[in-house]
Amino acid sequence: MATRANSNVDRLLVEAVTTHQLGPYSLHLDAGECVTLSGPSGSGKSLLLRAIADLDPHEGHVFLNNTQSENIPAPQWRQKVCLLPADSQWWHDDVGTHFTANATNADHSTNEKYPYFKSLGFDDSTYSWQVSRLSSGEKQRLALARALMNQPEVLLLDEPTASLDPQSTRAVEELVASYQQETGAAVLWISHDADQRARVSKRHYFLNPDGLQETSP
């Protein structure tokens, strides 16, 4: 099935998804919308995000702009529906190589080539930093900048500010909101901070053994 016959197109639609014997889960995100997700530790929040990103085996259906995930090649799906995990992955010794591998802008100015660096408190010197010297908070912020380079249509954020101080947390929140406004991207954001949920979203899902329940943030 290539498309879902529905005149009201959601940016992301999750229908009866089960993964690792959890679920079924159903939810939807509109274009430009941020929806938060919380629940007890071990309830399966991260597993749900991994299933939506097609990183783990699952049943059910996930649609992006009315097109089912099975009809989009997996690497392309994961660029469009991008998961930012709680623990980011780094493969090279220096920061810059992780960005040049994906860069499409030929300009050699870091702030032009990587426009999200400055918004997150970094500058040109960051390009030459060794990954081994990065704090967990720096890794989280740089992983977000790296994810945004692919211009995803959906961001799946797994506690992206868990290791950040209040100033850096606000910088991440503002950048995500700006990216949503500029691109129409939808965001599903795992957060256990009620104040943060109130700042970034108007809709919220709580995940418990009974499934997903939509509540106020």
Torsion, Cα of 210, 217, 81, 32 (10° steps): 140
Along the 217 residues of the chain, how does pLDDT read in single tens digits? 334 444 345 799 999 999 998 989 999 999 999 999 999 988 899 999 999 999 999 999 999 999 999 999 999 999 999 999 988 888 888 888 887 755 544 344 444 556 788 889 888 888 889 989 889 999 999 999 989 988 999 999 999 999 899 999 999 999 999 999 999 999 999 999 999 999 999 999 999 888 899 987 7
Helix (H, G, I), strand (E, B) or coil at 169: helix
Domains of the chain: 12-215 (3.40.50.300)
> Could you tell me the pTM of the whole model?
0.88
**How many other C-beta atoms lie within 10 A of the C-beta of residue 77?**
21
